[in-house]
Amino acid sequence: MAAGAPVANGITTPRDRRRALLALGVTATLGCMAIAGAAATSADTRPGLVALARVSMVGVPLAVGLYAWYARVNERFGLLLVAAGGGWFLTTLAESSDELLYTLGRTAGWLVEVLLVYLFLSFPSGRLATRGERAIVVATGVTVATLFLPRLLLAERFELPSPYTSCVAGCPRNALFALQREPPLLDALMRPLGVVAVLALMVAVVVRLRGRMRAATPLARRMLAPVLGIACVRAGLLAVGMSARWVDPSPVVLRTVAWMLALAVPLIALAFLAGLLRWRLFAGRALERLAACLRAKPDAPTLRRAFADAFEDPSVELAFPARGAGRWMDAHGDPARLPGPGGGLSVSTVSERGEPVAAIVHDETLCAYPALLHAGLEMAGVVLENQRLEAETAAAMREVTASRARIAAGAERERRRIERDLHDGAQQRLVALRIELELAGEAVRRDPEEGARRLHELEHEVEEALDELRALAHGVYPPLLADHGLPDALRSVAGRFAVPLRLTAHRVGRYAPELEGAAYFCVLEALQNVLKHARGASRVEVELDGSAPAALWLRVRDDGPGFAAPTDGVGITNMRDRLVALGGELTVRSAPGAGTCVEGWLPTVVSPGG
């Protein structure tokens, strides 16, 4: 496995990958040529067949692994196959007549069995998914380290026949044998224990693979069956071969088992290639089916069915974030729980701007082919984002419609109030004044002095009518605001406010009348809320800030009792409607014991006279 790291690191562009593939391909070809030459000189009666078998054991895994790595489909398992091909290359040294090379080749055969177990258990992701699988691989390594590697010093010769050499008689001795003769411990303990340990490990591998097949979803079984089937056969053959060799049956049976073990190596790689090609065809069809469904802008249940149909995986489920940390709901709005690891299912999240918008529960086999999964998730993300934008747009349109309706209703109420105030106040006073003037006119004709006195008395009535009209006009649009601007108008309010009020204005100029009016009346409404709801407040701060580009900010803070959950009452709704109608926004923040802050902004265009 370590041999694959230098290949993967630092190769980021297609050109780099092509160069690396070419270099590795040339190296593998030269290695296979060397293997063929070495095998052709072996003492076997069929050197051509031996050469073909040895080249297949090395070349096929290397070719398939390089293809998987280059095509970016299951890269990790592809690199593991390349590493396994390198290990099987070392085992071909066992075809040599030199004792040292023969010994190195037979030792590599023991070590490569550990890698084979890892390959079997990690297919197709290249990773061991469970603690039990990791325990089997560790136990295999411990068995090789304690019951086989010590034989390099204790055994005069290696057991025959072997899937890693064609030699069956007159084979080279163990070059590392360090004793005068083999100790009795070797035959009495180590070799029997080695057979028992290998049998136990192969049974564990077969049981684990069978369990994976039974627990797998239909999609996983279809992809795993060829490779895992051959893996089970080879594990069984290895156990049978070692047991038969210990019992010492006929050489024909042993050689047959050894050749079957050797040929199982390229068959594993070819089975992986078949699954890889089959998967690529399946991936193309799956994305085509998914795209056809997504063009219809499906809802959540239809989107779930689209994924299930496209990936031929009935276990697919969709989940969406619900209120509360870590809570999810399914496509129908019911509470949902995401599955944990080890159940054959995996969870992939669709995110927008770093926030999860959906989770897709799917067959964990899809994780071994990230390109297909990523493409499907991207397509789902586009659909979900479009649905979110459509929902937000619809909500915004509903809010704008409601806001306009409230503004129209408020304007109508204000018009009626002004009409009522005019009718009940100034109009009645002016009507009475007209009658008084008529009477005074008659008095002037009868008695000029009495008429003049009466007209002088009516001057007071005129002043009161003017004061009443000024007060009414001040409620519609304050003269101070129109003449001097927002800061001066609010300073006038601060001077007569019941709670100590501090006003600060930073770079506030003159703006359009409708903008100044909206800001002025929003501040008045917020101050009115202080008097109504912030009982016990000892100070109020009003801030106006026009320093931001094309924006006027306003804030009203109090140190009252505050409240836990701000709600939009009539006052806050009116303030928000005023600002939103001009393109601004309003927010209200409060907490128990921390007072309340009303903050808003308006887009500004400075008037020519400002």
| Residue of 43, 155, 29 lying closest to 98 (CA atoms) | 43
Task: List the chain domain ranges.
Answer: 2-282, 298-394, 404-476, 479-603
| Residue of 37, 36, 23, 124 lying closest to 80 (CA atoms) | 124
The predicted-structure confidence for 351-362, as pLDDT tens digits, reads as follows 766 677 777 777
Tell the residue number behind the tokens 């049956």, with chain if given.
Answer: 249
Question: Which class is domain 2-282?
Answer: mainly alpha
Pick the CATH number of 404-476 from 3.30.70.270, 3.40.50.2000, 1.20.5.1930, 3.40.50.10800: 1.20.5.1930
Structure tokens at 154: 């204790």
d(CA 29, CA 515): 80
The whole-number pLDDT of residue 472 equals: 61
The whole-number pLDDT of residue 37 equals: 53
Q: Where are the alpha helices (DSSP H) in 216-359?
A: 218-247, 251-294, 300-310
Structure tokens at 363: 């067959």
DSSP class of 359: E
- What residue ranges of the chain have pLDDT lower than 50? 1-12, 36, 40, 43-45, 424, 606-610
Q: What kind of architecture, by CATH, is found in domain 479-603?
A: 2-Layer Sandwich (3.30)
